[in-house]
Every structure is written in structure tokens, then in C-alpha cells.
Amino acid sequence: MKSISKRTYFALILACILLFGVLTFVIRYFLYADRWVSFAGSPHVYTNGKLDTGEIVDRSGVVLYTSASDRTYADSASLRKAVLHLTGDRAGNIPARVLQAYASKLFGYDKLNGTAAMEASGGLLRLTVSAQVQAIAMQAMDGRKGAVGVYNYRTGEILCAVSSPSFDPLDPPDLSTGNTDGRWDGVYVYRFFHSAYTPGSIFKLTTLAAALDLDPGLAERTFTCEGSLVLNGERITCPKAHGELTLREALASSCNCTFAQIAVQTGKRPLSAQAEAERLEESLNIDGIHTSRGHFDLDGAGDNDLAWAGIGQYTDLVNPCQYMVYMGAIAGGGKAAEPWLVRSAECGGEETYTAETEQTPQMLSASAASVLKELMRYNVEKVYSAAEIPGVRVCAKSGTAEVGSDANTATFAGFLDDERYPLAFIVVVEEGGAGSSTCAPIARAVLEACINVMDGER
Amino acid sequence: MEAILDFFRGADGLTFLSVYQSALRLALPILALFLVIRSARSLLGFRREPEVWAWLRLATGELLPVTHWENLMGRRKSADIVLDFVTVSKNHAVLSRQDDGSWMLTDIGGKGKVEVNGRQVLNGPVDYGDTLSLAGLEMVLEPVSKEEARLQANSRTRAGKGNSPGLTLLLLTVFQLLVALELVFNRPDDRIPVVTSFGITLGVEWAMFIAQKLIHRSGFEVETIAFFLVTIGLGVCASANADALYKQLIAMGIGIAIFLVLGFCLRDQEKAKRLRLVAAAAGILLFLANLALGRSINGSRNWIFIGSFSFQPSELVKICFILAGTSTMDRIVTRRNLWSFVIYTAFIGGCLVVLNDFGAAAIFFVGFLAIALLRSSSYPSAVLILVGVGMLAVLVLAAVLAIRHFPHVADRFSGYGHVWEHPFDNKGYQQTKSLMCIAAGGLFGLGLGNGWMQYMAGAGASDTDLVFAYVCEEWGLLMGVMMIFALAMLGLFVVRSAKVARSSLYTIGASAAMSILMMQAILNVFGTVDFLPLTGVTFPFVSNGGSSMMSCWGLMAFLKACDTRQNASFAVKLSTKEGDKA
């Protein structure tokens, strides 16, 4: 009997599996129940297929979206269009990701009481963006494809996160017939968060950060540009021979030959390490929006490839939001605040979520950051007068990324070196021609709007 | 204070109903917790005191107790009667007690003769006073005197001591009354079936309790747990489809009848052995009838319709299967008739594959493993492993074929592990809705009849395959966890009581029964929450379904038969009449 009795351990194993499984499930319940309950189609929180959450307002309290009675949007068409990628559309082609991420906070779900404690209405999601700024950015983009982003590198608030083209959710275009010229291509994509562009010369700021760390004396050196440079049998060219120039002159004239040399001298490993420090290939979770990953890979790259990679070509890709944060890090002496979109969530008048500022890891050394800041300021003074704002120190770098025969992506990134307006920004225009001439006016318009809004809040 | 008032406030403000329901949301899990803890203390905390059935006196004068109905004699440490002499084999003989109190000695192939009073026996009777000899080692079988038996019965701890089963049942009664009252409030139109079904259940459980008291049995924990689960099941049924309550009641009645009859039959080994053959035949007949008359519901052809009454033969076959699989130790160790059971299992497995019921096939497979493991005592385990692996291979092959040919099976399997990617199609609709509703229920539930899962009852299987989610939504996650604890506790009880079991027949029966029920719970709960593919299996006692209810009650008889605590179980004969008076 004893030997037989022992073999009832089989039942013991089953009992243990059962108990262990239940324990696992209870743990998962406490981790994820709020996600389950607010998932699309959840019978307790959706009525007629709509998430019944309440309102979304911008930083000034402008109502952008109301879930009640078949979703209403902002009053004016230009505002509706400017925040479309945040509020989503009626057809569900563009999801309102921030709303989904905070749904359970808006209707007052809690894991102890389930939906029994739920408020019937009264949810309020306060965003950090300014609808007014977004509308100005949208207007400045003028239907061109691309993205505009501005954020406060001290607090992390995103003031502007525009994706163009966009449409009025009350008057959506019919893509099956209305897109023969391709002007609506990718309209459902939130380009600011969900795209990765060839950066072009703005990437020289990354190369330079790596190079400055290896050779702090770089800023005092002079370089010679003969108009072209042959590396590994490949010719790298500048529009003209820049002759002898200092580092700041090289950056201001965006001299490819100089930066090709710097990239090759710096080497693969430090460049890759710098890209990693900037988290270019990571995805950030910004209040429920997961940014697209960039790309930086020097595996098997020759000197010519390394040179191209160092000036933002080759296989380089960056996500606009990510690179905007890097701008913030330069401004902030190596670190910046992590970006966020949702300031607070309320349910029935009670605050259920409040954003808090978090810092990014060190992206570049403080000394490199201070050198870059001066160089970028010099850029604006010498070259980008179109971006100048009276009374504010604008620092920037432009780029013109070659992505096809004559389809250049214009990029412009930088920040305000000003404690009253600690703003970092990026502008990307697809098929936009030269970086500074296309993007600098857009950046200026948007930044001025931001300054206005911030002044108004004081 | 505000928070407390909020807790009690309902949709219409602070009303009597809202206060009652809110209080109930707390009271029900607390009552259930007490109930489960009291039963657990009783079922898992008892001292395992052996029963002495006879003595063996060695030539040295040493007395060895004979503590089971079946005793392995030999040199090995795990023998029941350890004879540590070099001449004795590791497994030498089996001494077994017959129903009439007489003893048999069986030679199980030890080196050296087995003799009774100097005559060699292979399998022969032993009387008290006879001299047994194992390879020359002599000992005398001596009876336990009436006085000794009475003392033993008195000294063993009585079942339920310290945890009065009557009080536990009273807790259950309060639980049931509160549930019934809430259902009447929430579903005034269904008050007649609700009151009837809860009233009858109450009556039946107290009648059973009193009847057992009358025959001097005091262990009622297994029944209490079963009725606890039944109550949750009735609540689900009332919420999903109150008219089905009558059907559930009838099924419960039949189930309890099977439980009592089977329990009484299991008192005597001879009766049980005779029942085995009947059961084996009945199992085959049930499946043949199923193959001939079966109709398809949800893709599995495992239903038979008699008039408007439908039932699943495979549920009742579980009882037959276990009975057919039990065996006494003299048979186990003399290497006989496991093959016939293997063939029997293969037949059942084959039928289930033909009927396209993979959940049931998996359950029977686990039942087979439980039985085969216990019966493999002195078998070369390689054979068993081979058979087990072979059957698993056939099962997997059949499943693969089925997935190819039957789209509904394919859908269920292909959605597994990533149901959130398929919230609106066959691959994940049921699981995602379940998880949403579990989350909506919170720890204390939304109240009986207030959930959403009821709209998915019947064809959507929310009251059967997804019943865990149904319970979590309306009764709360705590209650969902509690019902799993309750079942696992019965499993642990079987493992614990195996040490003092009288015969391997009972150990095999109880262990297989609980293995099957726990496997069902595993497939049911983990299928619902996407830990496993959803196979469409019922949760014992709770899922809505008559056949399942009958079979679960029937399987409980095996548990009662292995409960050897003093004066515990009606399915266990008292060791002495004297025990009655103690």
C-alpha cells in the first residue's frame, strides 16, 4: 500500500498546477485588469461601440473631443484638423491612443471594485499640447507631408506634435477616389511619432558629440575642404570647395568633406555608442504612443559608408520625436526631461492621474553639449536668419537628406537657449527641398506661437 | 465616511437594495472563505492514525501491526510489513483482508517458498492462529480483540472534531440564503424557480447530513464543498437562464443518487469488483450509443437527445472508466490485466477522437495516467511510459488532423496565446470578452444577475466553458479563486488520506477521480484566461450542464470511499460495531 499511496503525487502535481496557475492569473489581474477592461469592445465601458470616457482638452482647456453622443470634436475645422492624430477619427482609421491608454483612469475603474465604482461620465483628459500652436504649425506646413514637434526640455510637456497632411474628422477625404495624386499618402500615420526619416545633416550633431568626447581639442582645429573627398573609391562632395575652415564654420556651412573626415577619425564604435546613448533605435512609450525605432548600423560599413553615416545618410534613420529629445539634451547640458503628452486625467472631478517629470539618461557629455550649443547658436546667427526670434537665443541645425533622385527630405532641429522658454523643436518636410529655407520659417512661426502661449500662462 | 457611503451607494443612490447588495459583495466572499478554511482544516489537518486490522507475531515475540486491507510484505523499506531479513525478497507476498474479515496470502514471486502451516501456497486463505512462512521466516497471524478494536476506535480522532461539520454546513446555509435573496431581488420574475431550487438544495443537503448522523458518520466536508460549488453553479444558472434550474435540480438528484449507491457499493471490495465489470460494459455501451445516435453541438458529436432531454455520455463514462480502472493489490503485483485496461482506454480515446471531443480526450488521458501510475507497482515502468507516450502521440496526431479538417477547432487553437489580436473573431472573442468581464467584476463582483456574460450564455458558452469568467464578473475574482481552492483542496485531501487507505482499490479510485476533476478545472479556467487553448470543458459542479453535474457527484463517491478517518464516511465500513457507540 505504501508504494501505491506515494504515487498519488500525480494528483498533487495537478493540484499544484491548478493553484500555481490561479496565483499567476491573480498577479496578471493586478497588473493588467485596467487594460482588459478598457480594451476596444469591452462591454462595460463601451456603449454602441464608442468608448464612453468624457472629454479631451488641450493645455489651455480648449475642448478637442467629447465622447458623449457620437463623438464631437473641436469647434473650428482648423483645430479639428490640427489635433486629428490625437483625437482619432470616427471611422477608426486613426486611433486615439492617449485615450485608450488612460481610459481606465477616466471612468474611474479600480481593481478592487471593478466597474461597480465606475462614474457614468465626467472623465477629463488634459493634454500638454496647445491646439492653437498645432493649428499654426498645420497652417505653416501648408499641406506638405511631414511633422512638427516642440517640447519643453525642462518639464517634458509636448506643446506641439503635428503630423501633416491631416483632415477634418467631420469631413474625411475619400481615399479610394480622392488620392490619385498621392497627397493623402500615409495620412492615417502619426508621422511625428510613427515614422523614421533619413536625417541628413542634422545628424552631424550626433557625429560631433561622439567626436568631441574623443578629442576635446576638436573645436580649435581647422579643416580643409577641397570640394570633394575620395574614400574607399567613393567620392563625397560639397556644393563648393569651402577651403580652410574652423569647426564652427564647417558646421555652419554644413561641410560634408569635413564631417566625413571627422566621422572616419572618430570610428565606428564611438559613433554607435553615441547613437545608442541617444536611444535612436529604441521605442519610447509616450502616454500610450510607442514611437517608431530609428536605425543606425555600421556593421560591415567601409570608410565611405562610415563617412555617409556620419553626415546622416547611408542607412541612418531617426524618429522625429526621438531626435527632438536629443535637441533637448544638448540644451539641457547632456540630459533632458522625458517627453509626455497627458498632463492629467480626471474622473468625476477627482484627479486620477497626474504627470510627473522624469529625466532621460545622459545622452552626451556636458562639455560636448556646451560646445554644440555655441556652434548651433553660431549657425542661426550666420545662416538661419529666417529662424531668428528677437530677444531669444535660437540654436539650430538644418539638413537636406537625399532619399531619391530629387526627393530631398528637409529637416531642421534645435532649441531655444532660454530659461523662460526652454523649448526643443524639430521640423521635417518630405520632398521639402533645402532644409533651412523650407523649415526655418515653419520653426519660427511655431516657436513664436509657443512663446505666446507660455507668456499667456504666466 | 464618504468612501463608505460611496461603497454602499447604487445607481439610484443609497437605497435598501444598494446597501444590501454592497454588504453582500463583502459578506459572500467572507462566508466562502470561512467555509473553505473550515473544510480545509478538517480535510487536510487530520492526524493520519492507522487502523490496525490484525497482528503478526514473529518468533522473537515482536508484534507487527497489519494496518491496511492490503499489505505488501517484503524486505524493502516501502513495504507495508517490513521484514528485514536477508532471506526475504524485497517484494515477497501480499496479505489481504476479505470483506468477511478473513485473510488471503498471495505469493508475488519472492525467492523462497510462501507457506501457511507448512503447506506452500500461491494464493490461499489464512486463519487467525495460522503460521505464515516467507522463505522460512515464520510468523503467526493474530486477531485484534474486540476490546482492542473498541479502544482503537475510541482513541482515533473522530472526523469533524474541532471543526464541526454541522457548523460548516450552517455557514453554507447562510451563504445560500443570502444568494437566493439577492437573486430574488435582482430577478423578481424568476423568483419561483430560484426559491424552489435553493429550497430543494437546502432540504437535500440537510437530509443527507442528518441521515449520515443517524448511521454515526460525521464527515460531511466533501459534500459541503460539493454543495458550495453547486450553489455557485445554481447562481450562474439562475442568472443565465433560470428555467434551466429545474433541469439542474433533476440532474443533481440523479447525481446524488449515483453518489449514494456507488458509495455504499464501495464499502465492500467484492461488490466493487463485481461492479467493475458492469461499469466497463456500461462504458462501452454508452459510447456505442453515442457513436450511433450522437448529434453535433459546437462541432463535437458527443450529445445524445432523448426527447427534449439531452446528455453527454462521455460524462457518465468517467465513472465507469475509473471503476474499470481500479484494481486490488494482489492483482496489481501479480502482473495481470493492465493491458486490458490499456485497450479499454484506447477504445474510449478512439471514440472521443471520432466524436471530435478533444477536451474530454485530454481528461481521460490524465485519468489513465493517474490509474496507470498507481497500478504500475512492480511493473517494468518502460512499458507504461511506452503506452503513455504512444497514446499521447495518437492524441496529438488526431488533434493535428482535426485542426486541419474542422475549422472551429483550428480557430480555437490558432488564437491561443494572442487572443487580444483577435477580439472580434472566433480566435479570441470568447477569451477577450471573458478577461474584460473578469476585470469589470473586480474582487467582489457586480452582483448576481448584473453581469454581461449572461448575454453570451448558451451558444456563447459563458455559463459552461467560460464559467470562471462568469463567476468572476458577478461574484468577484475572490469567489473565482475560492472555487478553485475548494476543488484543489479535495485533491490534496486524496493525496493526504492515501497513506491510511484501506485498499489500493480506493486509492486508485479517489486519485483518478480527483485527477480528472482537477484536469477539467485546469482546462476550463486556463482556457478561459488564455493560458491554454480553449477546449470547451466544464468546471466541476459549477458549469451549467446536467450530465456534468451527475458525473461530478458520482466521482465524489470515490472520495468518500477513501476517507478512513474514524466514523467519517458512509462509504467506509466501521472497523468495529463498537465504534458506533463510542
Average pLDDT of the segment spanning A298-324: 91
Q: B65 pLDDT exceeds 50?
A: yes
Q: Say yes or no for a CB contact (<8 Å) between A112 and B444.
A: yes
Of B442, B498, B521, the CB nearest to A113: B442
Mean pLDDT of chain A: 88
Residue of B nearest to A3 (CA): B78
Mutate to test the interface with A, among B477, B508, B529, B537 (most CBs of A within 10 A): B477
Distance from CA of A99 to the nearest CA of B (A): 17
For chain B, the helix, strand and coil percentages under 3-state DSSP, each to the nearest 5: 60, 10, 30
Distance from CA of A23 to the nearest CA of B (A): 9
Contact A307, A264 (CB under 8 A): yes
ipTM, 2 decimals? Answer: 0.90
In one-letter notation, the amino acid at residue B9 is R
Distance from CA of A8 to the nearest CA of B (A): 6
Q: Say yes or no for a CB contact (<8 Å) between A41 and B522.
A: no
Q: What's the CA angle centered on B550, arms B548 and B551, to 5 degrees?
A: 65
Q: Distance (Å, rounded) from C-alpha A95 to C-alpha A169? A: 12
Most confident of B256-265, B284-293, B332-341: B256-265
How many contacts, defined by CB atoms under 8 Å, are there between A and B?
Answer: 172
Contact A5, B499 (CB under 8 A): yes
Give the 3-state secondary structure of residue B538.
coil
Q: Distance (Å, rounded) from C-alpha A414 to C-alpha A328? A: 8
Q: Return the percentage of chain A with pLDDT > 70, whole number.
A: 96
Q: Flag whether residue A15 sits within 8 Å of chain B, measured between CB atoms.
A: yes
Summarize pLDDT for B400-426 with one digit per residue, the tens.
666 666 666 666 667 777 788 777 777
Distance from CA of B363 to the nearest CA of A (A): 12
In degrees rounded to 5, what are phi and psi of residue B409?
-70, -45
What pLDDT, on the 0 to 100 scale, is given for residue A73? 85
In degrees rounded to 5, what are phi and psi of residue A71?
55, 110
Residue range(s) in chain B whose domain bears CATH number 2.60.200.20:
56-143
Q: Distance (Å, rounded) from C-alpha B572 to C-alpha B156? A: 15
SS (H, E, C) chain A: CHHHHHCCHHHHHHHHHHHHHHHHHHHHHHHHHHHHHHCCCCCCCEECCEECCCEEECCCCCEEEECCCCCEECCCHHHHHHCHHHHCCCCCCCCCHHHHHHHHHHCCCECCCEHHHCCCCCEEEEECCCHHHHHHHHHHHCCCCEEEEEEECCCCEEEEEEEECCCCCCCCCCHHHHCCCCCCCCCCCCHHHHCCECCHHHHHHHHHHHHHHHCHHHHHCEEEECCEEEECCEEEECCCCCEEEEHHHHHHCCCHHHHHHHHHHHCHHHHHHHHHHCCCCCCCEECCEECCCCECCCCCCCHHHHHHHHCCCCCCEECHHHHHHHHHHHHCCCCCECCECEEEEEECCEEEEECCCCECCCCCCHHHHHHHHHHHHHHHHHCCHHHCECCECEEEEEEEEECCCCCEEEEEEEEECCCCCCEEEEEEECCCCCHHHHHHHHHHHHHHHHHHHHHHHC
Contact B270, B504 (CB under 8 A): no
Q: A401 pLDDT exceeds 60?
A: yes
Q: Distance (Å, rounded) from C-alpha B513 to C-alpha B533? A: 23
A contacts of B78 (beta carbons < 8 Å): 2-3, 6
A175 DSSP β-pair partners:
none
A contacts of B6 (beta carbons < 8 Å): 117
Residue of B nearest to A9 (CA): B495
What pLDDT, on the 0 to 100 scale, is given for residue B209? 95
Q: Say yes or no for a CB contact (<8 Å) between B440 and A43.
A: yes
Residues in Cβ contact with B127 at an 8 Å cutoff, skipping those fewer than 6 apart: B102, B103, B141
In degrees rounded to 5, what are phi and psi of residue A241?
-75, 120
Separation of CA B175 from chain center: 23
Residue of A nearest to B450 (CA): A116
B143 DSSP β-pair partners:
B54
Q: Say yes or no for a CB contact (<8 Å) between A15 and B491.
A: yes
Question: Would you tell me which CATH number, out of the four given (3.40.710.10, 3.40.1000.10, 3.90.180.10, 3.30.70.1450), belongs to the domain A200-340+358-457?
Answer: 3.40.710.10
Q: B378 pLDDT exceeds 60?
A: no
Summarize pLDDT for B522-531 with one digit per residue, the tens.
999 999 999 9
Residue of B nearest to A113 (CA): B442
Distance from CA of B475 to the nearest CA of A (A): 11
Of B433, B476, B495, the CB nearest to A11: B495
- Number of residues written out for chain A: 458
Residue range B56-143 forms a domain whose CATH class is: mainly beta
Average pLDDT of the segment spanning B81-99: 87
Please give the grid coordinates belonging to residue B549. Answer: 453535474
B contacts of A5 (beta carbons < 8 Å): 498-499, 501, 507
What pLDDT, on the 0 to 100 scale, is given for residue B386? 63
In one-letter notation, the amino acid at residue A177 is T
Q: Return the percentage of chain B with pLDDT > 70, whole number.
A: 88
Give the 3-state secondary structure of residue B338.
helix
Q: Say yes or no for a CB contact (<8 Å) between B495 and A15.
A: yes
pLDDT interval class at A114 (50, 70, 90): confident
Contact A198, A316 (CB under 8 A): yes
Q: Say yes or no for a CB contact (<8 Å) between A18 and B433.
A: no
Which is it for the CA torsion A66, A67, A72, A74, positive or negative? positive
A160 DSSP β-pair partners:
A150
In one-letter notation, the amino acid at residue B316 is L
Contact B377, A3 (CB under 8 A): yes
A contacts of B539 (beta carbons < 8 Å): none
Q: Flag whether residue A31 sits within 8 Å of chain B, measured between CB atoms.
A: no
pLDDT interval class at A434 (50, 70, 90): confident
Which is it for the CA torsion B169, B175, B176, B181, positive or negative? positive
Q: Say yes or no for a CB contact (<8 Å) between B80 and A17.
A: no
Q: Say yes or no for a CB contact (<8 Å) between A5 and B79.
A: no
Summarize pLDDT for A337-380 with one digit per residue, the tens.
999 999 998 887 788 889 999 999 999 999 999 999 999 999 88
Summarize pLDDT for A240-271 with one digit per residue, the tens.
888 889 988 888 888 889 999 999 999 999 99
pLDDT interval class at B335 (50, 70, 90): low
Residue of A nearest to B519 (CA): A14
Helix (H) / strand (E) element for B159: namely: none
Q: Distance (Å, rounded) from C-alpha A294 to C-alpha B172? A: 62
B contacts of A92 (beta carbons < 8 Å): none
Q: Distance (Å, rounded) from C-alpha B343 to C-alpha B5? A: 65
